[in-house]
Amino acid sequence: MRATLYDSGSSARREVDISLLPTGSLQVRDERDVRSWLLNDLQVADRIAGCPAILQLPGGERLEVPDADNFYRQFAALRGHGTGWVHALEGHWTAVLLCLLVTVGLIYWFVTDGIPVAARVAAAAMPASVNDLIGREAMEAMDQYLFSPTQLSGERQAELQALFDDVVGEVGGDEGYSLQFRSGEGIGPNAFALPAGIVVMTDELVELAEEDAEVAAVLAHEVGHVVNRHSMRRLIQSSVSAGLIVAVTGDLGSAANLAVGLPAVLLNAAYSREFEREADQVAFSYLESRDIDLAELGELLVRIDEVYGRDPDASTLLESHPGSRERLEAARER
């Protein structure tokens, strides 16, 4: 048979003739010399359909035999066994389909259960210094590009700080917290939590709320994000899910393409909806402890949707939050 011989430690190659001898050895012939090795001294790769036979010689040289069918047939006859379990599986469609189903099932489990569980454990084990660093840098970036100083009076800030302290004392656990007031003309009425227990609330949200009970509900919701370490978990889950998609597609360069990016968006949107529901439960616990109507949170969220011209009933696959109306109904049914 003809084969290609690659020299050890270089890309140099040359065409050679090879023979599998009845003595259990491999003979390689070229214009320079004739050499032989016992088959037991060679590393022969398992057979893979459509690929040449690969042999690693003792001196570091490598042989590639294009006529893999002929080579493996003779090799099996001399060694007295088949050509490897990989090729055996490839020859049975039932085994291939079974492996495919198992692989898809494992990926589905890893995405729906494995990644969230791993992210929860990793976020809980994250050093406080890492949370502080991420939180501070995120806050600095937002101050630079999104926010301007708050226009709330000192008296009003003190009232809201006292309300926030009450929320933290009831449902905040042992996390460190900081309430930040900002004017957010670009993002409107909003509130969100950052790592390190930083909770940001915009002046526009305070103005939109009809009573402080609604503000308390939103603050308790954001504290719920901190308690459950949602910001860090979202960062971890985003990174792992993106890495999983690249691993499945096998093309790192395509990670920026829509075909690869869209599944990551869908996965993380689903995670965000779950996070929102977890944070809502913390808010409900606080509101119940203060005998406040649980609907206060949902009513403010519906009003925010109306300000933005969004449909409060909308809850599509691409939405990162459950529909406001859905959350309002959940509060009323609790």
**Could you give the residue ranges of the DSSP H alpha helices within 172-211?**
203-208
Here the tokens at position 84 are 């490897």
* Cα separation, 219 vs 164, whole angstroms: 7
**Two tokens, residue 40:** 């037991």
Angle made by CA atoms 216, 221, 223, in degrees to the nearest 5: 95
> What's the fold here for domain 2-90?
PH-domain like (2.30.29)
Spatial separation of the C-alpha atoms in residues 53 and 3, rounded to whole Å: 9
How far is the C-alpha of 6 from the C-alpha of 189, rounded, in Å? 67
The whole-number average pLDDT for the span 260-280 is: 66
Judged by phi (left if over 0) then psi (alpha if -120 to 50, else beta), residue 16 lies in beta
pLDDT at 268: 52
> For residue 75, what pLDDT is reported?
86
Q: For residue 320, what pLDDT is reported? A: 54
pTM to 2 decimals?
0.65
Rounded to whole angstroms, the Cα distance separating 172 from 164 reads: 10
SS3 category, 35: strand
Three-class SS state of 15: strand
The overall average pLDDT reported for the chain is 83
Residues of the chain with CATH 2.30.29.30: 2-90
Question: Residue 321: which of 211, 192, 199 has the closest Cα?
Answer: 192
